[in-house]
């Protein structure tokens, strides 16, 4: 294969930032299993932006209290400066490098049941889905479906509509952009994702994310974004909350606590597994409710 072009950029996370915990989280994150190389405490993974497939490699050259990341971008053609900037922004957002954990930690230290979680997870910044479209597709694929089967569906979907780039002898598959799927017929989608209803949901999500302004998803009023997500076929209360937190970093609400979170809350706080109780405990964390929930899930 032809030589790849390499572009190097630097990222400066907000301390504390423990890159090892980001790597460890990805190593156990089933929706992305097998999609990246986590060798030698670095992350190598593929993404697509504006029809261009890029493999990025992130490694830490700093410390938890003085974090510094070096990022290599591998591509078949030279990358324009504006695309490099947007890719850097995507990678930084994926790793939540701009999140200021200090106010969250202050709230957590005042919560005796949660303080041990803060100690265990210190320096971990939420690792998101690379794109909201991928998160939405996963929400659709995993609804009423076992995790291993959902991952098989996702892998077929990526093989059908995504792209692959080889770096250092390993092929990295990039999840498709919404535009990549627009030309697929509902019959073709059904053959890939297994059910007509699921195909209709994927088609609805593809059309929605192909036309929405990504900046609007991040900056618009929370309720407006939630209402927009709920208009996508197959995205309900849980799916919209999932995407708002895990792809968009909208952490100030916990609209639909799911079963596994309530299990963790019941265990950590010695309370019944109950949605109302979970919401009440989350309210203490204000704008960091999503982080509280994510830490509980990630800490196990």
- Mean pLDDT of all residues in 65-75: 98
Per-residue pLDDT, averaged over 74-81, amounts to: 98
Confidence tier at 89 by pLDDT (50, 70, 90): very high
In this structure, are residues 124 and 245 in contact, taking their beta carbons and an 8 Å threshold?
no
Q: Give the whole-number percent of the chain exceeding pLDDT 70.
A: 99
What is the per-residue pLDDT across 146-171, written as a single tens digit (0 to 9) for each?
999 999 999 999 999 999 999 999 99
In this structure, what DSSP letter does residue 231 have? T
Residue whose C-alpha is closest to residue 289's, from 261, 263, 270, 268: 261
Contact yes or no for 65/101 (Cβ under 8 A) = no
- Is it the case that residue 135 has pLDDT exceeding 90? yes
- List helix spans (H) across 29-80: none
Dist CA 252 CA 237 (whole Å): 16
Confirm whether pTM is higher than 0.75.
yes
Q: 3-class DSSP state for residue 278?
A: helix
pLDDT at 87 over 90: yes
Q: Is 269 exposed, middle or buried (0-12, 13-18, 19+ CB in 10 A)?
A: middle
Look at residue 76 in the predicted model and tell me its pLDDT.
97
Whether 279 contacts 241, CB under 8 Å: no
C-alpha 169 chain-centroid distance: 26
Residue 54: helix, strand or coil by DSSP?
A: strand
Closest alpha carbon to 103 in 89, 118, 117, 113: 118
- The predicted-structure confidence for 204-244, as pLDDT tens digits, reads as follows 999 999 999 999 999 999 999 999 999 999 999 999 999 99
Q: How far apart are CA 117 and CA 180, in angstroms?
A: 40
- Which tens digit of pLDDT belongs to each residue from 173-194? 999 999 999 999 999 999 999 9
Helix axes 196-211, 186-193, angle to 10 degrees: 120
* Distance from chain centroid for Cα 117: 21
Which of helix, strand or coil describes residue 266?
A: helix
String of DSSP letters for 172-218: EEEPPPHHHHTT--HHHHHHHHS-HHHHHHHHHHHHHHHHS-HHHHH
| The predicted structure's pLDDT at residue 77 | 97
Give the burial class of 122: count Cβ atoms within 10 A of its Cβ; 0-12 exposed, 13-18 middle, 19 or more buried: middle
The residue written with tokens 């609209």 in the block is: 255
Q: What's the whole-number average pLDDT of the chain? A: 96
Provide the pLDDT for residue 40. Answer: 79
The per-residue b/e assignment along 21-56, b for 16 or more CB within 10 angstroms, e otherwise, is bbbbbbeeeebbeebbbeeeebbbbbbbbeebbbbb
């Amino acid at each position: 294969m032809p030589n790849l072009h390499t572009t190097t950029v630097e990222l400066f996370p907000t301390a504390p930032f423990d890159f090892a915990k980001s790597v460890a989280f990805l190593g156990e994150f089933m929706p992305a299993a097998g999609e990246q190389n986590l060798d030698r405490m670095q992350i190598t993974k593929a993404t697509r932006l504006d029809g261009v497939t890029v493999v990025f490699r992130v490694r830490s050259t700093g410390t938890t209290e003085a974090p510094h990341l070096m990022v290599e971008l591998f591509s078949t053609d030279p990358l324009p400066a504006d695309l490099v900037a947007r890719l850097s922004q995507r990678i930084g957002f994926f790793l939540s490098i701009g999140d200021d954990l200090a106010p969250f930690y202050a709230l957590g230290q005042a919560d005796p049941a949660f303080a041990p979680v803060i100690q265990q997870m210190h320096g971990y910044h939420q690792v998101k889905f690379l794109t909201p479209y991928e998160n939405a597709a996963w929400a659709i694929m995993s609804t009423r479906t076992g995790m291993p089967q959902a991952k098989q569906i996702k892998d077929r979907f990526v093989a059908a509509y995504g792209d692959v780039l080889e770096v250092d002898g390993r092929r990295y598959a990039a999840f498709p952009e919404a535009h990549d799927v627009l030309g697929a017929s509902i019959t073709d989608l059904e053959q890939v994702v297994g059910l007509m209803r699921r195909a209709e949901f994927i088609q609805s999500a593809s059309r929605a994310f192909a036309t929405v302004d990504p900046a609007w998803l991040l900056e618009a009023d929370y309720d407006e974004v939630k209402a927009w997500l709920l208009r996508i076929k197959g995205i309900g209360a849980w799916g919209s909350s999932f995407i708002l937190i895990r792809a968009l970093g909208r952490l100030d609400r916990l609209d639909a606590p799911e079963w596994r979170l309530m299990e963790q809350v019941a265990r950590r706080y010695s309370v019944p597994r109950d949605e109302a109780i979970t919401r009440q405990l989350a309210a203490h964390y204000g704008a960091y409710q999503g982080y509280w929930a994510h830490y509980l899930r990630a800490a196990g």
